């Protein structure tokens, strides 16, 4: 089983381009695995608890449950717009999740993983955590990334985190040696190791109800609710059946977690594996963290205050689902940052899809209709595009297995360039004028149509709607697998469909 999850989205703010990229990235990876015939489960969802949600709901004059329901609806609508095909939906207010969190908390408390202590210190309201001197900048102040910082003194429960520091360092090194890295890509693994080296304190896992009521109550102390990370992180196993359905959990686990670089350390890279270890998850069942970068504007992180946040829903409405998905996956290397640009979105769509892929499909179908009434003749005994297709499929498959959709798209574009060059080199319009070269014309038209059929499979993870549209025009509807990329899928005599513009150019003022 291939089990892939994304970080669940916090329902205290509107969906932004980072949310969209993460979900489309995971969706494309899951679609590729399904094409390979792998049993695949894609889980995503929303994190609905926490102090910020409680504050926002009070400011809006509505109950927290009503507040998060409205934001959750916006996330669900966006995934539908983007064609994100998830198999499971996680909401941290769901009863399956609440039961699992309480069961885990009770178990860890019983086994001595928690202790109660009083703490006085600086507290970040935005990040909902106590800060230490390590979080101070060179000037001694806490940076703007922490938001409002207040001096707070209160009693809470703590998870014995620091005692697992060496275990986690050993796990990171062992997984690297086994070539099953805990974190992908490698540069992010180095960042995590540096963060673990600095680990010294324990994790506060509760908040008093006097300050926060909107959360999951501790099963062993009704005066407290659990801290957001012990709640939110647990969704990855609660909805996989960790406590409710152990057989299902055994089939699904371990997972690939797709997360942003900002939540690698400490939550996903430190808190989470140590939490899993305490829950009895063996070392060889620890998940893999696939860490992606940020979309920036002009080299700087997008900011609401600066007015540089990109609305992915508006992008879909303006440019369409396929253009938005394509740009998000084609113009950023997994793990790295990239600058967002609508001009770049339009230019890549027009060049790669409208001019290259769409034009090849339209020309091929039109030439087949004009010269052969749409009916394919016999292929050549040795076709130059057959080898190019096989090579492209291999590169595409390897790139997706390495979680690099941008490289898979590169393999597609290389094959497209070869196919378009074949049109110019063979000049079917000239062959059609010479009856003695009828077999050559048949071979060229077959070659182009068969390449387009294979291309329709390769674009499936990135452009699922367009892939179906291509196969419809090729009169080859139906589900496909990677096995269908073998050359010769179109039989001689096959009648192609009529061309319809699949990627109309985006015209901008």
Q: Which two tokens stand for residue 141?
A: 């102040």
Picking from 130-139, 424-433, 453-462, which range would have the lowest pLDDT averaged per residue?
130-139
Interior angle at CA 98, CA 93 and CA 103, nearest 5: 170
**Burial zone of 148 (CB within 10 Å; 0-12 exposed, 13-18 middle, 19+ buried):** exposed
Element holding 386 (H helix, E strand): helix 384-401
Under the banding of pLDDT at 50, 70 and 90, the label for residue 14 is very high
- Residue keyed to tokens 């490698």: 186
pLDDT at 119 over 90: no
Element holding 46 (H helix, E strand): strand 40-47
pLDDT at 46 over 90: yes
Under the banding of pLDDT at 50, 70 and 90, the label for residue 370 is very high
Q: Which two tokens stand for residue 51?
A: 């102090």
Under the banding of pLDDT at 50, 70 and 90, the label for residue 36 is very high
- Residue keyed to tokens 């969209």: 20
Picking from 227-231, 321-325, 417-421, which range would have the lowest pLDDT averaged per residue?
227-231
pLDDT of residue 65: 97
Element holding 249 (H helix, E strand): helix 246-252
Contact between 43 and 7 under an 8 Å Cβ cutoff? The reply is no
C-alpha R_g of the chain? 26
Average pLDDT over residues 73-97: 98
- Can you point out the beta strands (E) in 244-336? 255-260, 288-292, 295-297, 300-301
Please, which residues have CB within 8 angstroms of residue 495's CB and are 6 or more apart in sequence? Answer: 373, 374, 375, 376, 475
pLDDT at 95 over 90: yes
Cα separation, 83 vs 420, whole angstroms: 29
Higher pLDDT, 301 or 318: 318
pLDDT at 113 over 90: yes
Under the banding of pLDDT at 50, 70 and 90, the label for residue 132 is confident
17-35 helix and 384-401 helix, angle to the nearest 10 degrees: 120
Please, which residues have CB within 8 angstroms of residue 179's CB and are 6 or more apart in sequence? Answer: none
Instruction: Tell me the pLDDT of the chain averaged across its residues.
Output: 96
Cα separation, 227 vs 212, whole angstroms: 10
pLDDT at 474 over 90: yes
Contact between 49 and 215 under an 8 Å Cβ cutoff? The reply is yes
Backbone angles phi, psi at 184, to 5 degrees: -125, 135
Higher pLDDT, 42 or 132: 42
Please, which residues have CB within 8 angstroms of residue 436's CB and are 6 or more apart in sequence? Answer: none
- Other beta carbons within 10 angstroms of residue 336's beta carbon come to 13
Nearest Cα to 421, choosing from 394, 444, 443, 398? Answer: 444
Nearest Cα to 504, choosing from 328, 357, 329, 367? Answer: 357
In the chain the domains, ranked by start, together with CATH numbers, are 345-485 (1.10.730.10)
pLDDT at 27 over 90: yes
pLDDT of residue 129: 76
- Residue keyed to tokens 């970040």: 124
Average pLDDT over residues 127-144: 85
Average pLDDT over residues 422-448: 97
pLDDT of residue 498: 94
pLDDT at 306 over 80: no
- Percentage of the chain lying above the pLDDT 70 cut: 100
């Amino acid at each position: 089983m291939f089990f892939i999850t994304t970080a669940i989205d916090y329902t205290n703010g509107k969906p932004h381009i980072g949310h969209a990229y993460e979900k489309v990235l995971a969706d494309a990876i899951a679609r590729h695995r399904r094409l390979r015939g792998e049993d695949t489960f894609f889980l995503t969802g929303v994190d609905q608890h926490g102090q910020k949600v409680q504050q926002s709901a009070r400011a809006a004059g509505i109950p927290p449950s009503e507040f998060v329901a409205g934001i959750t609806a916006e996330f669900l609508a966006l995934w539908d717009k983007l064609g994100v095909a998830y198999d499971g939906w996680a909401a941290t207010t769901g009863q399956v999740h609440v039961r699992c969190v309480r069961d885990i908390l009770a178990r860890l408390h019983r086994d001595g993983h928690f202790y109660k202590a009083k703490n006085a210190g600086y507290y970040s309201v935005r990040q909902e955590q106590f800060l230490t001197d390590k979080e101070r900048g060179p000037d001694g102040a806490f940076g703007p990334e922490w938001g409002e910082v207040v001096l707070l003194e209160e009693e809470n429960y703590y998870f014995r985190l620091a005692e697992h520091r060496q275990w986690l360092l050993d796990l990171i090194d062992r997984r690297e040696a086994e070539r099953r890295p805990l974190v992908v890509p490698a540069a992010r693994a180095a960042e995590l190791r540096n963060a673990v080296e600095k680990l010294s304190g324990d994790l506060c896992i509760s908040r008093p109800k006097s300050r926060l009521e909107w959360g999951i109550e501790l099963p062993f102390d009704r005066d407290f609710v659990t801290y957001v990370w012990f709640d939110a992180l647990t969704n990855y196993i609660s909805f996989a059946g960790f406590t409710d359905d152990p057989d299902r959990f055994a089939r699904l686990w371990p997972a690939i977690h797709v997360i942003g670089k900002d939540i690698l350390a400490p939550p996903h890279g430190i808190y989470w594996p140590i939490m899993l270890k305490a829950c009895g998850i063996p070392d060889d069942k620890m998940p893999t963290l696939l860490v992606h970068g940020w979309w920036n504007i002009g080299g700087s992180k997008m900011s609401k205050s600066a007015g540089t946040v990109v609305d992915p829903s508006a992008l879909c409405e303006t440019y369409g689902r396929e253009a938005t998905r394509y740009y998000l996956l084609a113009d950023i290397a997994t793990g790295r940052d990239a600058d967002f640009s609508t001009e770049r979105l339009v230019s890549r769509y027009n060049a790669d899809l409208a001019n290259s892929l769409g034009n090849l499909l339209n020309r091929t179908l039109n030439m087949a209709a004009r010269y052969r009434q749409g009916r394919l003749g016999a292929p050549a005994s040795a076709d130059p595009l057959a080898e190019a297709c096989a090579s492209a499929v291999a590169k595409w498959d390897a790139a997706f297995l390495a979680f690099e959709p941008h490289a898979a798209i590169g393999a597609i574009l290389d094959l497209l360039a070869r196919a378009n060059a074949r049109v110019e080199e063979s000049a079917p319009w000239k062959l059609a004028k010479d009856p003695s070269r009828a077999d050559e014309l048949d071979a060229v038209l077959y070659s182009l149509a068969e390449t387009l059929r294979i291309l329709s499979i390769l674009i499936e993870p990135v452009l699922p709607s367009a892939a179906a549209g291509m196969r419809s025009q090729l009169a080859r509807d139906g589900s496909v697998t990677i096995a269908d990329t073998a050359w010769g899928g179109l039989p001689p005599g096959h009648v192609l469909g009529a061309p319809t513009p699949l990627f109309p150019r985006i015209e901008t003022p």
